[in-house]
Chain A
Amino acid sequence: MITPAVPKSWYLPSKPHKFCPGCGHGIVLKALGETIDELEIQDKTIFGCDIGCSLLSWDFFACDSTQTHHGRTTPVMVGIKRARPELITIGYMGDGGGYSIGSQHLLNAAVRNENVTLILVNNTNYGMTGGQMAPTTLPGQKTETTPYGRDPELTGYPTRGPEFLTELTPEGAYIARATVSKYKQLRRFLRNALRNQMEGNGFSFVEVLSTCPTNWRTNAQQTWRFLEDEMEPYFPVGELKSPFGKGGDK
């Protein structure tokens, strides 16, 4: 049997992980693990996850970890960082926690340029609770609470988080949107987001477009097609704000 190479910062007793087959969380967490290894910050990283599917990562890393709910991972990370600035705080949450129920925390942490790194996984629905509409659900997309498709007349248009956070944050903040379909770019953005915190520049945020075949009710091909053909055009991938400038992130 061939054992695949796994990041040093992964917590092996909790593997194989608990995410559904085809879920994008595993890819994001692999990229994050490799980044933690590369930056050699495992011992001083505090990983905080939220409720929902992101919760399943509570014992994912061999890093000190904590867990809460309702997007309150943001203030918990802020409290830790303010108490112990030498620690590297990584908040990990879904689109519901970050953009809906905990949006006031996200917005105000950004305005205050809190020196924390937040990673928000956008899979266009509330996965753990059974596939309801999220702030990021696309127009026309069917979910359990929009069984006839999301009607923007009734429920508005999908939230574009990195775009509004770019407006809210001062210089020094790092704001990007990545996708699990472009792994090397995802790695680069996560590295920049953590580097930014390590350098004390301020707020760092990466939204990652991800997949949810269970709730999308899609097969492998349809899953990838939805990510690349439906989500990526609506949620453009790239760095929206970076203190490192173009080419400064090599």
Chain B
Amino acid sequence: MQANVKVVGDTKKSFLTGNEAVTWAALAAGAEMMFGYPITPQNEVMHYWTRLAPKYGRGFLQTEDEISAGFTVCGAVQAGTKAFTATAGPGNVLMQEPFGMAEAMRLPLFAVIQQRGGPSSGTVIYSQQEVALTTYGGNGEGHRIVYSTATHQEIYDYTIKGFNTAWKYRFPTFLLGDGYQAKMREPLEMYDPEERGIEIVPTYPLLGLEGHIGENREPQHLCNIYSLEEELYDVVLRFAEEYEKISPELIEYKENQCDDADIIILSHGVVSRAADDAVKALRAQGIKAGSFRPITLRPFPQAQLREAIAKSGAKKMLIAESAYGQLDRLTKQEIYGETIKIENLFKPGVGIIDYDIINKIKSML
């Protein structure tokens, strides 16, 4: 492995697809292995990785399915290797099983999800319909960290950050993009993380440790099943406690002109760009709109959103998403008790532009 070779030397302006940005960022972050299985719209993450990885001594395996891609990542990270995968839609469904294992065993798994339309095969194009699955999928408690990106620059930044978060906190970590971000090109700045003062969190093995068993070390027995109800209970409560403890360090959000807003537009991912444009246009017309965007969908910036509502005194909030209420449900459970009137703009599997939001806001006034 030549993980220490500088992948990106001097900072450079680039014009890339989101999938390409993921690959460069993963290389720059020192990712050593990718396990993947073809599904649109994430394929080009693998395509760029398979072209670039050998130049930097990194590994790749195309597995038999997404279940295997997820479980090989689980194996590789247990062995102490910075490994990742990328998927979408029905592939994300299959990966819930290995993601659950990563949750149960606190494995530093990092996965990129490029959302496509659903349910089932849906479309190969775009949606925000994998919010529920990525945040709370599987037979667990959603002890995951989910970054929802809005720009290619963020894809680059949060891919690097995602690996660091996974290895620092050992909760499975996700970059939640979508087909638009995956496939379209836009300018971004690529940089070497260490040049920017971003410390790369070191990896370490959970299995295959140095030393001699019985002489200078104990055998490692990793397990994700328990005989007694109370054993599992203790484990899950410990995870919950740790998750809640680190949440304040992890929560990220963007707030735009909420201070004096009469109406707040809540959205995430690329839709938040339309929301910001709508705020600008509405303000120019004398309508005091503001926007709020959770960057981390898990943990959710609930205190910050409550504060935005409180300080603005806004009476109305519009939740806009390219899904039929997944962000809406997530938000309502997080801000339970708030009396702000919530209206919706749901366009499942379809893009939302500023014009859609402006019209909806005007109908609410």
Chain A residues proximal to chain B, CB less than 8 Å: 8, 11, 42-44, 46, 48, 51, 55, 58-59, 61-70, 72, 74-84, 87, 104-105, 107-108
Question: Which of chain B's residues have a CB closer than 8 A to the CB of A48?
Answer: 75
Among A64, A68, A72, A87, contact of B219 (Cβ-Cβ < 8 Å): A64
Q: Taking the complex as formed, is B208 at the interface, i.e. its CB lies under 8 A from any CB of chain A? A: yes
B221 close to A58 (CB less than 8 A):
yes
C-beta contact mask, B33-46 vs A, less than 8 Å → 1, else 0? 10100000000000
Q: Across the interface, do A64 and B80 meet the contact criterion of CB distance under 8 Å?
A: no
Bound complex: CA A43 to CA B79 (Å): 14
Q: A62-B214, A68-B101 are in contact. Are A82 and B207 (CB under 8 A)?
A: no
Are B225 and A78 in touch, CB under 8 angstroms? no
Q: How far is the CA of A105 from the CA of B35 in the complex (A)?
A: 14
Chain B: which residue is nearest A44 at the CB level? Answer: B208
State the CA gap A68–B207 with chains docked (Å).
14
Given A75-B63, A79-B75, A79-B83, are A65 and B208 neighbors across the interface (CB < 8 Å)?
no
The residue on A at minimum CB distance from B63 is A75
* B147 at the A interface (CB under 8 A): no
Choose among A63, A66, A108 the residue that contacts B78 (Cβ–Cβ < 8 A).
A66
Contacts of A55 on B, CB cut-off 8 Å? 225
8 Å CB contact of A108 from B64, B77, B101, B213: B64
* Docked pose: A104 CA to B101 CA in angstroms: 19
Most chain A CB within 10 A, of B79, B209, B212, is at B79
Contact of B209 among A64, A81, A82 (CB under 8 A): A64
Contacts of A77 in B (CB 8 A): 75
Residues of B close to A74: CB separation below 8 A: 68
Not counting A65-B223, A83-B81, a sample of 19 additional A-B residue pairs whose C-beta atoms are within 8 angstroms of each other reads A62-B214, A62-B219, A66-B105, A66-B222, A68-B101, A77-B75, A79-B35, A79-B76, A80-B75, A80-B79, A82-B59, A82-B72, A83-B32, A83-B76, A84-B80, A87-B79, A104-B64, A105-B67, A108-B64
Query: What 10 pairs across the A-B complex have the smallest Cβ distances?
Result: A79-B75, A79-B72, A108-B64, A83-B81, A75-B71, A83-B76, A76-B75, A83-B79, A79-B76, A75-B68
Residue among B33, B97, B208 making CB contact with A70, cutoff 8 Å:
B97
A104 touching B68, Cβ below 8 Å = yes
In contact, B64 and A64 (Cβ under 8 angstroms): no
CB-based contact B223/A67 at 8 Å = yes
Would you list which residues of chain B between 64 and 116 have a CB under 8 Å from chain A? 64-65, 67-68, 71-81, 83, 97-98, 101, 105
Alpha-carbon distance between A144 and B236 when the two chains are bound, in angstroms = 33
| Residues in chain B near residue A46, CB distance under 8 A | 79, 207-208
Which A residues are in CB contact (< 8 Å) with B211?
A: 43
The reply to whether B213 and A80 form a contact with Cβ atoms under 8 Å apart is no
What residues on B are CB-neighbors of A105 within 8 Å? 64, 67-68, 71
> CA–CA, A61 to B219, complex, Å?
8
| Binary A-proximity of B206-232 (CB < 8 A = 1, otherwise 0) | 011101111000011111110000000
Find chain A residues with CB under 8 A from B77 CB: 79
Complex CA–CA separation, A107 to B12 (angstroms): 45
